[in-house]
């Protein structure tokens, strides 16, 4: 997933099932300002729709992801 950090700070990515249960935290790291990309290993997730939240400096980007088998 691509995301932008407006100013240096912590960037955290969480993956949730549609029922709201967090199932993964692919990254939680310090990022410099600018555009970045993160990835998530979905091999342990069941097929279905998941919500991916990337939070940095109080702002959250949310994307839905479809995992197929």
Mean pLDDT of 43-59: 95
Question: Which residues is 29 bridged to in the sheet?
Answer: 11
End-to-end CA distance of the chain: 20
| pTM above threshold 0.75 | yes
Residue closest to 2 by CA, chosen among 43, 35, 32: 35
Q: What's the token pair of residue 41?
A: 């290993």
In degrees to the nearest 10, what's the CA dihedral of 15, 33, 59, 37?
-20
Instruction: Kindly report the number of other CB atoms within 10 A of residue 12's CB atom.
Output: 16
Q: What is the pLDDT of residues 16-27, one digit of tens each?
A: 999 999 999 999
């Amino acid at each position: 997933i691509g995301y932008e950090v407006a100013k240096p700070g912590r960037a955290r990515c969480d993956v949730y099932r549609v029922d709201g249960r967090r199932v993964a935290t692919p990254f939680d790291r310090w990022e410099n300002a600018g555009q970045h990309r993160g990835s998530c290993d979905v091999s342990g997730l069941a097929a279905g729709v998941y919500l991916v939240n990337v939070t940095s400096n109080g702002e959250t980007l949310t994307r839905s992801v479809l995992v197929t088998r």
